[in-house]
């Protein structure tokens, strides 16, 4: 069953055509990987799918059959779309726990807000699963965090929001081998719990696929998807490069 469909998508940023007619579908529970060189439009695609307000987007973005193209980012999130940022921002003065509780409550009706005790139990359960120290919850969001800790925070958000489709925008960027393995282990834990969650993974390198199981790999060049195949396509890219 198709849970996410992109049809003839075009994205213009500051008067420049960056995404030039992409069509792609993702089935429920599937992990699709997009690989491409710098400047190919991968991050623009991720932010366009999430509803960046400054992008001019044409085409269709279907989530469970409903076109979400005209919706703002917060409405897309409430419907089950999630974006993990390549460069998570620091928010001084806002604790991790307050941020996460607000994120959960933003998806709930006013008469069904999560109680503090219920939230703390849920947050600690997910932090333990991701091997994150519980005292992180009292720190300011991403302030003073290492690259690996920031990316784990993104995965913690994903764990608490439990999206239908998660877009991971170069989650491996800036991570050493150990940090990458830890982050990917967390993603695999979430997939094991929620087998219906679909992933759109955007990356430069094959190394992330040493830890994540991809169902399909697509190559993106100059704003277009030029080829799709199985996981072996990623290894071929590592050996021969994008030009070949």
pLDDT tens digits, residue range 169-206? 988 887 888 888 888 988 998 999 999 999 999 998 78
Of 4 and 146, the structure prediction assigns the larger pLDDT to: 4
CATH 1.10.3720.10, applies to 2-240: no
> Rounded to whole angstroms, how far apart are CA atoms 212 and 209?
5
pLDDT class for 244, splitting at 50, 70, 90?
Answer: low
Q: Residues 22, 9: contact at Cβ < 8 Å?
A: yes
CB 145, CB 180: distance < 8 Å: no
Element (H, E) at 95: strand 91-95
Write out pLDDT tens, residues 35-72: 988 889 999 999 999 999 999 999 999 999 999 999 99
pLDDT in the model for residue 110: 86
Q: Average pLDDT for residues 115-134, to the nearest whole number?
A: 92
Q: What is the pTM of this model?
A: 0.93
The pLDDT mean for the chain works out to 92
Q: 59: burial class by Cβ within 10 Å (0-12, 13-18, 19+)?
A: middle
């Amino acid at each position: 069953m198709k849970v996410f469909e992109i049809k003839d998508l075009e994205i213009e940023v500051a008067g420049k055509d960056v995404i030039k007619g992409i069509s792609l579908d993702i089935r429920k529970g599937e992990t699709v990987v997009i690989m491409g060189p710098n400047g190919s439009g991968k991050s623009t695609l991720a932010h366009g799918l999430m509803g960046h307000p400054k992008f001019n987007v044409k085409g269709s973005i279907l989530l469970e059959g409903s076109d979400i193209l005209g919706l703002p980012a917060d409405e897309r999130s409430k419907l089950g779309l999630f974006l993990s940022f390549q460069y998570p921002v620091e928010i001084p003065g806002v604790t991790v726990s307050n941020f996460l509780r607000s994120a959960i409550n933003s998806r709930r009706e006013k008469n069904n807000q999560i109680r503090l005790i219920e939230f703390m139990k849920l947050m600690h359960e997910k932090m333990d699963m991701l091997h994150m120290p519980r005292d992180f919850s009292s720190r300011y969001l991403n302030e003073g965090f290492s690259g690996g800790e920031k990316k784990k925070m993104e995965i913690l958000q994903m764990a608490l929001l439990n999206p239908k489709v998660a877009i991971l925008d170069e989650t491996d960027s800036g991570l050493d081998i150990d940090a990458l393995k830890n982050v990917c282990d967390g993603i695999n834990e979430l997939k094991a719990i929620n087998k219906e969650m679909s992933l759109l993974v955007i990356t430069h390198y094959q190394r992330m696929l040493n830890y994540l199981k991809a169902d399909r790999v697509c190559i993106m060049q100059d704003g277009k998807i030029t080829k799709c195949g199985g996981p072996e396509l990623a290894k071929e890219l590592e050996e021969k490069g994008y030009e070949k």
